[in-house]
Structure 1
Amino acid sequence: MSDAMPTRGQISQIADPLGWRLILGVLTTHVAVPSLPAAVQAAATAVDAVSDDADGHLRVDLHADRIVLHLQTLAAGRVTDHDLALAPRITAGLAERSLDTRPGEGSVTPQAIEIAIDALDIPRIRPFWQAVTGYIDEAAPVDLPEGALCDPLRRGPTIWFQQMDAPRPQRNRIHIDVDVAPEVAQPRIAAALASGGTLVSADAAPAFWVLADPEGNEVCVCTWQGRD
């Protein structure tokens, strides 16, 4: 495959059966392992499966009970046809070692966190947030406005800026977005409501639902659906 840009639906159709999930422009999967040395071996297997194609596409997080694999064409800031070609190669390589790619397990599932900051003058405040966080420019943010900032090592949440037309002192100016796979959205929303939250709006669902905690602080639960 090339570096062409498939739709989110096309990505999900190919990747979901392999145990990968599309989360905020990145394909992610979990591989269960019994120990940290086993995690290192599993990571090496995943890298070997794609050989020289790993750089600029594959990222690996190591944990004692799992490795978390991420596929994205970093230069493009999203999943390309090239990444979609790598996913089955990685899954097959791991399967030869009796390891499965899966979309997490139990309460530990692929997700991404974003911090959205409302601003009247984005060019004025953006340098402050870039300086204080040490973040870098997001190359080509998918599902986000231009000007988003990201952790250089992709560990922390993405920060993006939402244009305001007028001051809005009656509500919070910073909110969190939680990006999850589509099948996780409703259970996550139900858990939030059961813990005392309220549903503010479902007008943009299934792209996102707006919820609020008991004091009115807002959060959006987001998926890739409804964006193509």
Structure 2
Amino acid sequence: MTSSDGAALTRGQVAEAVDPLGWRLILGVVTTHVPVGSLEHAARAATLAVRAAGPEGEGHLTAELLADRLVLRLHTVAAGRVTPLDLSLAGRITAALADASLHTTAGDAVAPQTIEIAIDALDVPRVRLFWQAVTGYVDEPHPPDLPPGALQDPLRRGPTIWFQQMDEPRPQRNRIHLDVDVPPEHARARIDAALAAGGTLLDDRAAPSFWVLADPEGNEACVCTWQGRD
């Protein structure tokens, strides 16, 4: 992420710019939900967003239409991260939707989130080839939150897959885990719900970057936010 003077934008700077607009930074993408009453209304809202973004939205704006909401995401695809243009587009889109009495939100019953699949491997390049082949995922720029070699869904709907280097076999634990990326204000509720459902908090030393939890049989998942990564 770079600012107008060429310096890198921090995650905090991105969040400070978009949070008041009802957008949230999640794994190198700013996203928002626009509540609507029908799929037709979602299509109309998407048209407003695309028109507000204009030609500059190409390679930045994506939209997902659902019967109760429009999901909008902004990031610079070629860079794999949020740039100042994305922040400008978020402002323009939010204003255009507001003029039509539509609002951008990250706080309703369905929170924005992104899922990552992390795979532990002794020979990362070899294992990576298999997962790229079986999923049809592609090599594209990805956010700096992830290590090199992460694989992306070409339609950007499925979870990102990344690989964690192992030093030795670990038969005592699972070697694939989920990372659930949520806005910071949703992390605590998500953790509490997991614990109430029989989970265990294994490690919170990296919080608020991530918390490591396990299900009743020891399978692990992390709840993650952008905080603590700059």
| Shorter-chain TM-score tier | over 0.9
Q: Where do 1:189-228 residues align within 5 Å?
A: 189-228=191-230
Instruction: Tell me the residue number matched to 1:145.
Output: 147
Counterpart CA distance in 2 for 1:135 and 1:3 is 34
Structure 1: segments with no counterpart, 5+ residues: none
One-letter identity of the residue aligned with 1:133: T
Instruction: Tell me the residue number matched to 2:122.
Output: 120
- Report the CA distance between 1:138 and its aligned residue: 3.0
Q: 2:93 aligns with which of 90, 94, 116?
A: 90
Q: Where do 1:45-84 residues align within 5 Å?
A: 45-84=48-87
One-letter identity of the residue aligned with 1:81: P
Aligned residues: 227
Q: Where do 1:100-111 residues align within 5 Å?
A: 100-106=103-109, 108-111=110-113
Counterpart CA distance in 2 for 1:116 and 1:200 is 17
- Report the CA distance between 1:2 and its aligned residue: 4.7
Structure 2: segments with no counterpart, 5+ residues: none
Aligned to 2:172, the other structure's residue is in SS state coil
Counterpart CA distance in 2 for 1:55 and 1:216 is 43
User: If the length of structure 1 is used for normalisation, what is the TM-score?
Assistant: 0.97
Counterpart CA distance in 2 for 1:3 and 1:100 is 31
| Cα deviation digits, residues 22-62 of structure 1 (max 9, x gap) | 00000000001111111111000001111111101000000
Instruction: Tell me the residue number matched to 1:12.
Output: 15
Instruction: Tell me the residue number matched to 2:187.
Output: 185
Ranges of 4+ aligned residues in structure 1 off by more than 3 Å: 1-5
Aligned sequence identity (%): 69
Q: 1:163 aligns with which of 154, 165, 174?
A: 165
User: If the length of structure 2 is used for normalisation, what is the TM-score?
Assistant: 0.96
| Cα deviation digits, residues 181-220 of structure 1 (max 9, x gap) | 0000000000000010000000100000000000000000
Would the aligned equivalents of 2:27 and 2:143 in 1 still touch at CA under 8 Å?
no
Aligned to 2:42, the other structure's residue is in SS state helix
